[in-house]
Chain A
Amino acid sequence: MAVLLFVRRVRPRVALVANARPTGRGAPTPDRVTRELTHVFLQKKLLQKLGPGLMHAFIFWGFIVLLPTIAEAAVAIVHKDSSLPLLGAASWFAFASDVFAALVVVGVAMAFFIRKVLKPDRFRGSHMGEADRILLLILAIVVTFLVWNASRIALGIAEVPDSRPVANLLSGLFGSGGGTEAAERVLVWAHLLVILGFLVFLPGSKHLHIATAPANVWLAKDGPTGRLEPNRIDLEAPEEDIRFGVATQKDLSKKQMLDLFSCTECGRCQEACPAWATGKPLSPKLLIMDLRDRVVAEAAGEVELQPLVPNAVIDQVVWDCVTCGACVRECPVDIEHIDTIVDLRRNLVMAESRFPQEASPMLRGVENQENPWGQPASARLDWAKDLEVRVLQEGDPAPEVLFWVGCAGAFDERAQKTTQSIARLLTAAGIDSAVLGPREKCTGDPARRMGHEYLFQMLAEQNVETLNGAGVTKIVASCAHCFNTLANEYPDYGGTYEVVHHTQLLSELIAAGRLQPRTGDGKITYHDACYLGRHNGEFDAPRDVIGGDIEEMPRNRERSFCCGAGGARMWMEEESPRINDTRFEEAVETGAETVATACPYCLVMLDDAAKGKGSDLRVADAATLLAESTLPS
């Protein structure tokens, strides 16, 4: 009966995932196997928060160990004196299940302590009552298990009583008379009934994650999180065959759908999200929950099938995201919020042309002048006026390293300083490098993260043609966004190069003695760029380039806090309190005199914050600091 109910309740969800758009993921890869081991079995991502992580690990490991005891109890229901073959008589198993059951009790107690006493803000918006019911059910399962075993010990039917320290202790509760025999029957039935009740309760609850999470972790993206899945657009194809991102739930991929049913409502993502932290309506957790509730309600026929924006989440939620990846990194079940957000944007931009209007000059600029600044291509070399820089002409031999300047580096006055520093450092180190000059076009990153996949696709194809045509094999990029796009996304468009970030190249040159920085003075803090750090795992190179002791901000490296520019937010207005101001405050509090950056977007955002506050904390790229300490000025 319970099993039937379970099947009936879980089936619509299984169908939703099964009928969703294929992901092309799933084949075993070393990454998948490793993730399954570390993220699921070793609970690595949960243990990023030690207290709550241990709490969960106790319950999770407890249940893994206790799984066979369900069968044990089922056998005992039929025949009191029987037990499982092999395991039933194994003293080590009796011991393990006894201890782990006790650990589950500890875990549940910890969970209640966290939820009722500590009450972290990350739970805001989660289903608290449901969580309590689940915890109580879990508690009931293990308590009935322990007490049932205690009664068996009291009755002398337990095969290996000495191996069950906890149950043994509890066996003192029972006499050996008829009352205990009855109690033993009642307890085993109660134990199994609670388990069955749990089973029925599971599909509609966030606790479904015990079934979905391992699959979701398996289907997660391999490789850097900075890469977005392409949404190929062939304008020659019949319109009904073209997918413009995600409009309704019918457009969701299997992974995106499974994400919705995997969320545990733990709120770790919400706690890390810069949009939420600055009071915006976007919370990655609420986004996932709202999408899930809508999808389920539509599938059940309770509401009509409608576009997910604004029916499940409002427009602003979709536009608030800076694609910083903090949510994805924190999520213990590897939900990929960014991919879904960008897919929703794709539909709004490409099908509806509905987006914050202030971003439209950026799109027009990228479309018409091939850069977000709307500057003519001829101005791409303005920064190089007083420098000797080789400009790669058509037919020229390829340089050892192509210096990809990027649009910010070419057109923004502050970022131009970084570009000049890098060019001078490369010359000083004797690197054979060249720039594309007017032949370089926007990588398409801002258009892509804004949702204009087609514009990105065109630029990617054009740039790949130029790069391949020039025989380029190695690229150094100074913008973290260019770096990410060239390294992780251009291979999807036929452009595979060795791509390094300027801090990586410069740190190598320092290590090789080709650049010799003087030890600087003055306290420096470093702001990790999301697309260099969290999305691509490079934390040390920029620190090596800066050199000396760094006054770290509280949120640094993998847990760095975004500058507010990613996800094309650079071109959108933001209500106060702003993300860049918030981050800048954090830098000020370190007492440093300089905040170093490694990405022009971060530079501009933090410098804007400095100007807005009238602060004299200097914002400069690591390369500029290196140039100052290496080269004659």
Chain B
Amino acid sequence: MNIVVLTKWVPEPEGTPTIGEDGLLVREGADGGLDPGDEYGLEAALQLVEAAGDGEITLLTMGPEIAQAALQRGLAMGAHKGVRITDESLRGADSLVTARVLAAAIKRQPFDLVIGGVESTDGYTGIVPAAIAELLGLPGLTFARELHLSDGTLTIERQTAAGYDVVVAPLPIVITVTAGATEPRYPSLKGVMAAKSKPVETLTLSDLGLSGDDVTPTQTVAEVTDAPPKQGGETVEFDDTTAARIADVLAEAKVI
């Protein structure tokens, strides 16, 4: 059972990120670490490997030196090795470029399963895992809130707006795991220490056989502005019409 878990270094979710003049996030010297959204998938991977009794979990990330911290955290939780792709030309990479690079790295070794989070806690595009599935020519099962493996077939409960669908696919596949699907373990200090001696490979684009053309973003950031301040909400006084009003609000928001 070999699993690749997609991981990302993100700036401290509780902090205020700094945006550089080029409209890109300033990562150097920023507080941050492993995307909390990635931990659910990693935990799922750990549980699958533990249940299978053997197998290897590879953490895969793309990013500068600082992204090493995200890998260390995942290794401390119990992943077996890490791969980090770094290249000057990847600065400002968009989702498609990221997916291409990660897919190229995944292909380098045999694998049964690729697990990602639903979306990153900084970019929130939520399309990289699906794009990877496409590039690898594999089924992409998204929003797994529960997963169950038997005889080389993975069954997931796919979270939907209305409830969940049961989706079944034979391995190898790419899946995304929702936040809350698992309870990520808190790494022990022994795990943190052991992580230091686990192998981490650092690759460049040429190691992956990719060239500059493959990684030219199709999107660029034109401008970054502050989010508009929140509008004051509506206060509904409690009387006979309250229930109807709430129902209207929910209907307007297309929740019901």
**Which positions in A face B, CB cutoff 8 Å?**
233, 235, 239, 244, 349-353, 355, 357, 360, 363-364, 368-369, 374-376, 378, 452, 454
Of the residues B183, B185, B190, contact of A350 by C-beta under 8 Å: B190
Contacts of A235 in B (CB 8 A): 189, 192-193
Contact B14–A244 (Cβ < 8 Å): no
Q: Is the CB of A353 within 8 A of B185?
A: yes
Instruction: Please give 4 more A-B residue pairs, beta carbons under 8 A apart, in addition to A350-B189, A352-B188, A375-B14.
Output: A244-B190, A349-B188, A368-B33, A376-B12
Q: How far is the CB of B81 from chain A (nearest CB, A)?
A: 20
Assess the B14–A376 pair: CB atoms within 8 A: yes
Q: Say if the beta carbon of B186 comes within 8 Å of chain A.
A: yes
A625 to B183, CA, bound (A): 43
Residues of A with C-beta under 8 A to B188: 349-353
Complexed CA–CA distance, A83 and B33 (Å): 82
Report the minimal beta-carbon distance from B43 to chain A, rounded to whole angstroms.
12
Task: Say yes or no: A233-B189 contact (C-beta < 8 A), given A374-B14, A376-B15.
Answer: yes
Q: What CA separation (Å) do A495 and B190 show in the bound complex?
A: 28
5 closest A-B pairs by beta carbon, nearest first, are: A353-B188, A350-B189, A376-B14, A360-B186, A351-B190
Contact of A454 with B189 in the complex, beta carbons under 8 Å: yes
Assess the A369–B14 pair: CB atoms within 8 A. yes
Tell me which of A233, A351, A364, A374 contacts B186 (CB under 8 A).
A364
CA distance A360 to B12 in the complex (A): 18
Q: Decide yes or no: A378 and B190 within 8 Å by CB, A353-B185, A357-B183 being known contacts.
A: no
Nearest Cβ in chain A — how far from B182, in angstroms?
11
Q: Contact check, B186 vs A239: say whether CB atoms are below 8 A apart.
A: no
Q: Is B187 an interface residue (CB 8 A)?
A: yes
If A357-B183, A368-B33 touch, whether A244 touches B16 (CB-CB below 8 Å) is: no
- Residue with the highest number of chain A CB atoms closer than 10 Å, among B12, B189, B190: B189
**Number of residues from B at the complex interface, CB < 8 A:** 15
- With an 8 A cutoff between CB atoms, is B63 at the interface? no
- Any A CB within 8 A of the CB of B191: yes
Give the shortest distance, in Å, between A251 (CB) and chain B (any CB). 14
- The main secondary structure of chain B at its interface with chain A is loop
Cβ B190 vs Cβ A239 within 8 A: yes
Docked complex: B178-203 residues within 8 A CB-CB of A: 183, 185-193
Q: How many Å from the CB of A246 to the closest CB on chain B?
A: 15
A364 CA to B193 CA in the complex, in Å?
Answer: 17
Residues of B within 8 A of A369 (CB): 12, 14
| A residues near B192, Cβ cutoff 8 Å | 235
Task: Give chain B residues whose Cβ lies under 8 Å from the Cβ of A364.
Answer: 186
For residue A577, give the distance in angstroms from its CB to the closest CB of chain B: 27
A residues in contact with B14, CB < 8 Å: 368-369, 374-376
Q: Are B186 and A353 in contact (CB under 8 A)?
A: yes
How near does chain A come to B46, taking the closest CB pair, in angstroms? 12
Nearest chain B residue, comparing its CB with the CB of A374? B14
How many A-B contacts if CB must be within 8 Å? Answer: 43
Q: CA separation between A165 and B246, bound complex, in Å?
A: 93
Whether the pair B186, A378 counts as a contact (CB closer than 8 A) is no
Please, what's the 1-or-0 string for B136-159, where 1 marks a CB less than 8 Å from any CB in chain A?
A: 000000000000000000000000
A350 surroundings in chain B (CB, below 8 A): 188-190
Cα distance, A305 to B183, chains bound together (Å): 32
**Cβ contacts A to B, 10 pairs, < 8 Å:** A235-B192, A244-B190, A349-B189, A350-B189, A357-B183, A363-B186, A368-B14, A368-B33, A376-B16, A452-B189
Cα distance A376–B12 when bound, in Å? 9
Interface string of B8-43 (1 = CB under 8 A from A): 000010111000000000000000010000000000
Chain B residues positioned under 8 Å from A375 (CB to CB): 14
Residues of A within 8 A of B33 (CB): 368
Q: Which residues of B contact A378 (CB under 8 A)?
A: 15-16
Name the distance in Å between A420's Cβ and chain B's nearest Cβ. 23
Cα–Cα, bound, A363→B189 (Å): 12
In the complex, the answer to whether B185 meets A239 with C-beta atoms within 8 Å is no
- B250–chain A nearest beta-carbon distance, Å: 29
The CA of A244 and the CA of B190, in the complex, are separated in Å by 9
User: Smallest CB–CB gap between A443 and chain B, Å?
Assistant: 19
- A350 to B189 CA separation, bound complex (whole angstroms): 5
**Residues of B close to A244: CB separation below 8 A:** 189-190
Provide the bound-state CA to CA distance between A352 and B191, in Å: 9
Output the nearest chain B residue to A235 by Cβ-Cβ distance: B193
The interface residues of chain A lying within 8 Å CB-to-CB of B183 are: 357, 360
Q: How close is B135's CB to chain A, nearest CB, in angstroms?
A: 33
Q: Is the CB of B191 within 8 A of A239?
A: no
Q: How far is the CA of A350 from the CA of B188 in the complex (A)?
A: 5
Q: Return B144 CB to nearest CB of chain A, in Å.
A: 21
Residues of B with C-beta under 8 A to A355:
186
Least CB distance from A40 to B in Å reads 40
**Bound CA–CA A357/B191 (angstroms):** 17
- Give the residue among B14, B33, B185, B190 with the most A Cβ atoms within 10 A: B14
Chain A contacts of B15 at CB under 8 A?
A: 376, 378
In angstroms, Cα B186 to Cα A244, docked, is 16
Residues of chain B within 8 A (CB-CB) of A452 are 189
| Set of chain A residues within 8 Å of B190, measured between Cβ atoms | 239, 244, 350-351
Nearest residue in B to A355 (C-beta to C-beta)?
A: B186
> Which residues of chain B are near A363, meaning CB under 8 Å?
186
Whole-angstrom CA separation of A352 from B190 in the bound complex: 8
B33 (CB) vs chain A CBs: closest residue: A368
User: Is A353's CB under 8 angstroms from B193's CB?
Assistant: no
A353 touches B12 (CB 8 A): no
Q: Using A235-B193, A239-B193, A353-B191 as known contacts, say yes or no to A368 and B186 having CB atoms under 8 A apart.
A: no
Contacts of A233 in B (CB 8 A): 189
| Interchain CA distance A374-B185 in the complex, whole Å | 17
**Nearest A-chain residue to B15, judged by Cβ:** A376
Contacts of A368 in B (CB 8 A): 12, 14, 33
**A464 CA to B136 CA in the complex, in Å?**
53
A239 to B193, CA, bound (A): 8
B72 to chain A, nearest CB (A): 12
Q: How far does the alpha carbon of A353 sit from the alpha carbon of B188 in the complex, in Å? A: 5
In the assembled complex, how far is the CB of residue B121 from the closest CB belonging to chain A, in whole angstroms?
13
B191's closest neighbor in chain A, by CB? Answer: A353
Alpha-carbon gap, A353 to B77, bound state (A): 10
Separation of A369 and B33 alpha carbons in the complex (Å): 12
Chain A residues whose CB sits within 8 angstroms of the CB of B189 once the complex forms: 233, 235, 244, 349-351, 452, 454
The interface residues of chain A lying within 8 Å CB-to-CB of B191 are: 353
Q: Which residue of B lies closest to A360 (CB)?
A: B186
A364 to B34: give the CA distance in the assembly, Å: 12
Collect the chain A residues with CB atoms within 8 Å of residue B185's CB: 353
Can you name the residue of chain A whose Cβ is closest to the Cβ of B194?
A239
Q: Which residue of A lies closest to B76 (CB)?
A: A353
Least CB distance, B247 to chain A, in whole angstroms: 30
Q: Which residue of A lies closest to B188 (CB)?
A: A353
Q: With a CB–CB cut-off of 8 A, which chain A residues contact B193?
A: 235, 239
Residue in A239, A353, A363, A376 with the greatest tally of chain B CB atoms within 10 Å = A353
With the chains together, A349 CA to B183 CA distance in Å?
Answer: 16
A353→B191 CA distance, assembly (Å): 9
Complex Cα–Cα for A369 and B11 (A): 12
Which of chain B's residues have a CB closer than 8 A to the CB of A239?
A: 190, 193
Q: For the complex, what is the distance from the CA of A374 to the CA of B15, rounded to whole Å? A: 11
